[in-house]
């Protein structure tokens, strides 16, 4: 135990020491702090309306039931741990009781999941700001939520995991019971809708259930759900001393489950090995050391790589096209393309009057996120292969980006052609949309590469810091495009026909040409810190 | 002393290790060899206590998963992995504390100096190259004063000086009576060290023989390996 306390303590101390030594490491921390501050800062514009107590409390209780059932269910399967390979190699093999190691794992998991749970706390915070909830009640509720969601649910998962390991068959019983419960609830709701109609169900029966959940005296005696109900109710109305008793009940239950788990003789290391490897891989990617591994287990299509009479940098292009084909249903048509096709067809049928320029602007804004780091070239620059290829940097850049441009072109055709045909738009405008979309995507691909180079030059090797620099750079180069759109909308009426296309095309091509000059150097040497596995 | 009795391990329906038995006496170096997928890593991981298995593994008379068994065992993995926010020195401290080793400072200094890590002792795990991480892994294992040492690919990632030092240390430990199991493909690198060769194929031992049992034969480990794995 002493060794694990030493490990946790030293890790925290060194985290701050490291920030002092390398201030750029603080970037992600600063962003998180700013985000948290904004999140919990009182929203002055929030409408102080009277949110329904029944709706709030019942939704919260249902949320509690769902998270509880999820914890039970996931506990019967493989528990995703926060252990990584350093824990496996150094802690698992040490003469420390597995129960103590598990305790250390829970502490690690709670600490790491705390930040992830802040998003849900934000939703609660926003809601409370609109519901006249006092500051004390808000604070108490955050503490209760953390106690329930992070502490109790995580301990419950482990408790169930340990019990399922101890008693074979228990996992199946729990899973079947949960499935039966869900089928029962869905069945009753469906029967009710069939019998009395949807309107009565949504306006009558659900309200009755919500009222029962909120006001029924018996509910508060149900462990966990009843306690959470009472706490939510008191936060919405007025706090009583019993609030602290309910909080104590959650702590006590967590402690009892933990105590039982701790005292059961367990051998759980094997079950943790897979998630430890995955966590290690994620950690390596985050620190800029590892290479991206696909977490998708869908098998690739069997498409042969044909490189006959293809030499030098050309090979990159054909390799990329082959990779796209292997990951797509047909040629370059993947899941994303299907979604685009559906959107295009639905808009073409139901929104015929929609200006194609609006569709162009919407889809182009999505490219802002997908074109930058989505291209295949980003897999290449974390691999030595492209650097050792005996060809000019210009050719590597051209062939490296070419496949992404073809993919963007395919997507553009899928978006604009069905919509154009179904809503009878001008052929010229459809073609202009496609050309501008490809030019815009090309520019964002080049700029993503340059942003990557700038981030590396500034010493930002972590994935979060890298991503932030990337976003910042993309935003800067998008500003002129936004100005073009604003001029088109406000100064020249109705987008002035084709002006917007012409202006965006000129900007995208000029910017791409300039940015590509800055990108070429990326292939000159392999000494970019963090990109190559040392 | 390490005693492995009737060890079997299944991954789902695949039988990775099939009822293997072997003993490594104090001061003996057993080389575990075999083609990829033969089951070497499974045996190592089972001995270290990372896997569930059928059979019995004893370390100095204690079950390998017991606290006493683990206290006598050290493991150097093939792929080193360190805590990113712990310095080299803190890794050694952590391992010494975990294994309840007192007065480890002098030994720690010796080990770090042997592997040219002394001047880098305040470097963080995340700042080290793979080779340096491997050296730290070795130091972490050796600081625990083991009675049984398991080494998975001991020379991978090390520079020539570190390889020479590693061989010297293994020899030193052998003379001190430590039982050593080396899993390696680089058979030349352990030619002078080995006392027992265990060759695996498809989860089974195809050879388990002590050096003296070869009598007057002057075959190298590599020749023995190919004799039993090819054909």
- The pLDDT score that the predictor gives to residue A42 is 56
Among candidate residues B212, B227, B155, the one with its CA nearest the CA of residue B188: B155
Is residue B180 packed enough to be buried (19+ CB in 10 Å), middle (13-18) or exposed (0-12)? buried
Separation of alpha carbons B98 and A6, rounded Å: 10
- B67 and B108 inside one domain: no
- B195 and B226 inside one domain: yes
Last residue of a domain, one of B129, B145, B161: B145
Q: Domains of chain A: which residue ranges?
A: 58-286, 314-523
* Interacting residues of A490 by C-beta distance below 8 A, sequence separation 6+: none
Interchain proximity B50–A93, CB inside 8 Å: yes
CA nearest to A18 within chain B:
B85
- The pLDDT score that the predictor gives to residue A238 is 82
Separation of alpha carbons B143 and A100, rounded Å: 22
Among candidate residues B168, B192, B187, the one with its CA nearest the CA of residue B40: B187
Contact between residue A77 and residue A171 where contact means Cβ atoms under 8 Å apart? yes
- The pLDDT score that the predictor gives to residue B135 is 92
- The pLDDT score that the predictor gives to residue A272 is 84
- The pLDDT score that the predictor gives to residue A529 is 47
Q: What is the DSSP string of A422-433?
A: HTT--HHHHHHH
- B151 and B64 inside one domain: yes
Interchain proximity B93–A6, CB inside 8 Å: yes
B73 CA to chain A: closest CA distance, Å?
8
Strand partners, B200: B205
- B181 and B122 inside one domain: no
pTM given for the model: 0.70
Select from A86, A96, A269 the Cβ nearest to the Cβ of B83.
A86
- The pLDDT score that the predictor gives to residue A392 is 83
Strands B29-33 and B196-201: parallel
- Residues in chain A with CB shorter than 8 Å from the CB of B95 are 3, 90, 94
Select from B71, B81, B124 the Cβ nearest to the Cβ of A95.
B71
- B225 and B154 inside one domain: yes
> Does A16 lie at the interface with B, CB-CB under 8 angstroms?
no
Output the tens digit of pLDDT for each of chain A's 534 residues: 788 889 989 988 998 888 888 776 677 777 777 777 776 665 555 454 555 777 778 888 888 888 889 888 888 876 667 888 999 989 998 999 888 888 888 888 888 777 767 767 776 766 666 667 777 887 888 888 888 888 888 889 888 888 888 888 888 999 999 999 999 988 888 887 777 776 677 667 777 777 777 777 777 788 888 888 888 888 888 888 888 999 999 999 999 998 898 888 878 888 888 778 888 877 777 666 655 555 445 567 777 788 888 888 888 888 888 888 887 877 778 888 888 999 999 888 888 888 888 899 888 888 877 766 667 777 777 666 777 777 888 888 888 889 889 989 999 999 999 999 999 989 999 999 999 999 999 898 888 888 878 877 777 766 667 777 778 888 888 888 888 888 877 777 655 578 888 888 999 999 999 988 888 777 766 544 444 333
Strands B73-76 and B148-152: parallel
Contact between residue A101 and residue A4 where contact means Cβ atoms under 8 Å apart? yes
- B169 and B99 inside one domain: no
B8 CA to chain A: closest CA distance, Å?
15
Separation of alpha carbons A415 and A342, rounded Å: 9
Query: Which range of residues forms the domain containing residue B86?
Result: 79-145
Interchain proximity B81–A2, CB inside 8 Å: no
- B156 and B136 inside one domain: no
**Which residue, chain included where needed, has tokens 């696909």?**
A294
**Which residue, chain included where needed, has tokens 């095309």?**
A505
- Residue ranges for chain B with pLDDT beneath 70: 231
B20 phi and psi angles, rounded to 5 deg:
-100, 150
- Mutate which: A19, A25, A95, vs B, most B CBs within 10 A: A95
- B84 and B122 inside one domain: yes
Gyration radius of chain B over CA positions: 18
- Domain total for chain B? 2
- B207 and B179 inside one domain: yes
- B165 and B226 inside one domain: yes
Look up residue A214 and give its two tokens: 């909120």
CA nearest to B152 within chain A:
A89
- Residues in chain A with CB shorter than 8 Å from the CB of B52 are 267, 270
- Chain A stretch 279-338, residues whose beta carbon is closer than 8 A to a beta carbon of chain B: 280, 283, 287
Select from A3, A89, A267 the Cβ nearest to the Cβ of B97.
A3
- B151 and B135 inside one domain: no
- Residues in chain B with CB shorter than 8 Å from the CB of A20 are none
Contact between residue A140 and residue A239 where contact means Cβ atoms under 8 Å apart? yes
Select from A86, A273, A533 the Cβ nearest to the Cβ of B81.
A86
Interchain proximity A283–B84, CB inside 8 Å: yes
- Residues in chain A with CB shorter than 8 Å from the CB of B71 are 95
- Residues in chain A with CB shorter than 8 Å from the CB of B90 are 10, 14
Among candidate residues A193, A3, A201, A169, the one with its CA nearest the CA of residue A97: A3
Interchain proximity B100–A18, CB inside 8 Å: no
B214 CA to chain A: closest CA distance, Å?
35
pLDDT digits (tens, 9 = 90+) for A190-245: 887 777 776 677 667 777 777 777 777 777 788 888 888 888 888 888 888 888 99
- Residues in chain A with CB shorter than 8 Å from the CB of B133 are none
- B84 and B186 inside one domain: no
Separation of alpha carbons A371 and A443, rounded Å: 9
- Chain A stretch 489-528, residues whose beta carbon is closer than 8 A to a beta carbon of chain B: none
Order across the sheet with B73-76: list the strands: B73-76, B148-152, B179-183, B29-33, B196-201, B204-210
**Which residue, chain included where needed, has tokens 């405008």?**
A429
- The pLDDT score that the predictor gives to residue A191 is 82
Contact between residue A27 and residue A463 where contact means Cβ atoms under 8 Å apart? no
Element (H, E) at B201: strand B196-201
Interchain proximity A11–B130, CB inside 8 Å: no
B64 CA to chain A: closest CA distance, Å?
10
Interchain proximity A93–B49, CB inside 8 Å: yes
Is residue A502 packed enough to be buried (19+ CB in 10 Å), middle (13-18) or exposed (0-12)? middle
- The pLDDT score that the predictor gives to residue A252 is 94
The CATH number given to whatever domain includes residue B17 is: 3.40.50.300
Q: What's the Cα-to-Cα distance from B139 to each of A120, A231, B91, B92, B145, rounded to whole Å?
A: 44, 53, 9, 7, 10
- Mutate which: A11, A20, A22, A93, vs B, most B CBs within 10 A: A93
């Amino acid at each position: 135990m002493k060794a694990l306390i030493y490990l946790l303590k030293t890790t925290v101390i060194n985290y701050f020491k490291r920030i002092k030594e390398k201030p750029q490491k603080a970037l992600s921390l600063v962003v998180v702090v700013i985000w948290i501050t904004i999140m919990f800062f009182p929203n002055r514009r929030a409408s102080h309306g009277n949110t329904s107590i029944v709706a709030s409390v019942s939704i919260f209780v249902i949320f509690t039931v769902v998270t509880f059932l999820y914890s039970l269910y996931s506990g019967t399967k493989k528990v995703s741990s926060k252990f990584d390979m350093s824990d496996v190699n150094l802690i698992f093999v040490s003469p420390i009781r597995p129960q103590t190691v598990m305790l250390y794992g829970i502490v690690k998991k709670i600490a790491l999941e705390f930040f992830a749970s802040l998003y849900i706390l934000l939703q609660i915070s926003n809601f409370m700001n609109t519901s006249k909830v006092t500051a004390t009640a808000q604070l108490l509720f955050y503490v209760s939520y953390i106690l329930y969601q992070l502490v109790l649910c995580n301990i419950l998962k482990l408790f169930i995991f340990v019990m399922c390991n101890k008693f074979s068959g228990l996992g199946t019983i729990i899973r079947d019971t949960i499935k039966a419960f869900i089928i029962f609830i869905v069945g009753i709701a469906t029967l009710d809708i069939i019998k009395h109609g949807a309107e009565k169900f949504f306006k009558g029966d659900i309200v009755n259930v919500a009222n029962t959940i909120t006001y029924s005296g018996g509910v508060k005696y149900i462990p966990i759900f009843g306690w959470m109900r009472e706490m939510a109710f008191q936060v919405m109305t007025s706090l009583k001393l019993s609030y602290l008793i309910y909080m104590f009940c959650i702590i006590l239950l967590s402690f009892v489950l933990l105590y039982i788990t701790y005292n059961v003789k367990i051998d759980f290391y094997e079950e943790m090995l897979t998630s430890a490897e995955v966590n290690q891989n994620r950690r390596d990617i985050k620190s800029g050391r590892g290479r991206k591994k696909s977490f998708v287990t869908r098998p690739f299509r069997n498409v042969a790589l044909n490189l006959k009479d293809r030499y030098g940098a050309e090979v990159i292009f054909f390799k990329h096209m082959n990779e796209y084909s292997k990951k797509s249903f047909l040629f370059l048509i993947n899941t994303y393309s299907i979604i685009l096709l559906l959107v295009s067809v639905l808009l073409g049928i139901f929104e015929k009057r929609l200006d194609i320029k609006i569709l162009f602007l919407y889809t182009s804004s999505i490219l802002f996120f997908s074109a930058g780091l989505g291209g295949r070239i980003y897999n290449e620059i974390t691999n030595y292969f492209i650097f050792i290829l005996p060809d000019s940097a210009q050719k590597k850049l051209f062939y490296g980006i070419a496949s992404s441009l073809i993919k963007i072109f395919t997507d553009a055709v899928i978006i604009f052609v069905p919509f154009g045909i179904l809503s009878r738009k001008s052929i010229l405008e459809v073609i202009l949309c496609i050309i501008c979309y490809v030019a815009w995507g090309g520019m964002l691909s080049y700029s993503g590469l340059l942003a990557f180079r700038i981030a590396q030059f500034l010493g930002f090797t972590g994935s979060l810091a890298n991503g932030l620099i990337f976003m910042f750079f993309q935003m800067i180069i998008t500003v002129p495009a936004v100005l073009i759109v604003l001029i088109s909308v406000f100064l020249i009426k109705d987008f002035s026909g084709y002006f917007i296309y012409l202006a965006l095309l000129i900007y995208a091509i000029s910017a791409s040409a300039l940015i590509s000059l800055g990108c070429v150097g990326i292939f000159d040497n392999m000494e970019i810190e963090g990109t190559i596995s040392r | 002393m390490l005693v492995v009795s009737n060890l079997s391990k299944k991954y789902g329906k695949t039988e990775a290790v099939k009822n293997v038995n072997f003993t490594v006496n104090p001061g003996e170096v057993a080389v575990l060899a075999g083609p990829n997928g033969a089951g070497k890593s499974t045996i190592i991981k089972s001995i270290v206590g990372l896997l569930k298995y059928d059979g019995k593994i004893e370390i100095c008379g204690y079950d390998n998963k017991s606290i006493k068994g683990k206290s006598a065992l050290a493991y150097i993995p093939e792929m080193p992995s360190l805590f990113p926010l712990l310095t080299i020195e803190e890794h050694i401290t952590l391992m010494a504390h975990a294994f309840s080793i007192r007065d480890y400072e002098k030994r720690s200094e010796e080990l770090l100096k042997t592997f040219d890590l002394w001047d880098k002792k305040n470097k963080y795990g995340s700042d080290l190259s793979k080779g340096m991480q491997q050296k730290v892994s070795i130091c972490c294992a050796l600081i625990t004063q083991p009675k049984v040492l398991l080494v998975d690919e001991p020379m991978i990632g090390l520079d020539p000086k570190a390889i020479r030092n590693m061989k010297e240390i293994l020899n030193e430990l052998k003379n001190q009576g430590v039982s050593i199991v080396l899993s390696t493909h680089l058979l030349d690198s352990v030619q002078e060290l080995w006392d027992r060769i265990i060759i695996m194929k498809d989860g089974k031992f195809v050879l388990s023989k002590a050096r003296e049992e070869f009598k007057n034969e002057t075959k190298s480990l590599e020749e023995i390996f190919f004799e039993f794995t090819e054909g």
